[in-house]
Amino acid sequence: MPNELDTLKAKLAALGQKIDAKVTEYRIQGVLHGAEREAASDLQARNARAAARLAGGHTSHGGKFLDEVAGEVAVLTTDFNGWLAMIDKQSER
């Protein structure tokens, strides 16, 4: 049975794959300009930083480390969904 660290790593990896797939798709479509391109780079960088933290596998008192990274993943997921909505809204114009 996977532990909390492994579960979080898998969740983050899946999110990273979704981010990368959408960035590639939008680049091919030619819709990544200015703020959208910067937001895409930011999402990818934040995902990479969180993955690097998890790769270290540090655990602190009371699981604080895992709670912090889980919070980062939750915020990153929300920001990714907002980025998708922003691009969809702009493409409707």
Convert the pLDDT of each residue in 3-30 to its tens digit: 888 899 999 999 999 999 999 999 999 9
DSSP 8-77: HHHHHHHHHHHHHHHHHHHHHHT---HHHHHHHHHHHHHHHHHHHHHHHT---GGGHHHHHHHHHHHHHH
Q: For the whole model, what pTM was predicted?
A: 0.88
Per domain, the residue ranges of the chain are: 4-91
Q: What is the pLDDT of residue 62?
A: 53
Here the tokens at position 66 are 């895992």
Q: How far is CA 48 from CA 30, 42, 81, 88, in A?
A: 24, 10, 17, 25
Convert the pLDDT of each residue in 53-87 to its tens digit: 888 866 555 578 888 999 999 999 999 999 999 99
User: How far is residue 4's CA from residue 1's CA, in Å, rounded to a whole number?
Assistant: 10
